[in-house]
Structure 1
Amino acid sequence: MTIFRMGNGLWYKGVVLENTDECRTKRTGSFVDSREFSCVCPNFAKNELCMEGRIHYYCMPKPTWACIGNRL
C-alpha cells in the first residue's frame, strides 16, 4: 500500500499505518470514490471537509505486481 502525504499530514488517519487492513481500498482491492458513495471511508483524514462538500477523494489499489523503475 502506498500512502501519499498532503503538506505536513497524511490522507489517512494513523490507524491505517498501524493496520493496513483498515484501508478500504487495500482490503477490498477496489477503487473508492467519495462521490459515488458519499464520504465512504471513515479513515480518510479530512472526512469533515468531505461531509461539507469541499473536497472528494478517490483511492486506487496498488497492484501487487507493481514495480518502481523499468523492470518487471
Structure 2
Amino acid sequence: MDKSEILQAVERERIRQGMSKRKLAEKAGFTDRSLYMWESDKRGMTLTNADSLLKAVGLRLVIEKGE
C-alpha cells in the first residue's frame, strides 16, 4: 500500500463519518496545511504520520511478515 492508497482510504472513511478535513487534521495532531501538502504530493509522509491519520478515522496500519 502506498501513500496515495492510504490517503484514499482515509478520505473514504472521513467522508463516510461526515468529518471535515480540518477536523481530521486536528484529530490526528496535524495542521490542515500538512494534510494539504500530503494530499497534493508536495511533501513526503512518514509511516508514523500515516498511522496517525488512519487512527483518526478508526483505521489501522498493519505490517505483517511475509511467508
Give the TM bin, normalised by the shorter chain.
0.3 to 0.5
Rg: which structure is higher? Answer: 1
Higher relative contact order (CA 8 A, sep 6+): 2
TM-score by length of 2: 0.33
> Which is helix-richer, 1 or 2?
2
> Which is strand-richer, 1 or 2?
1
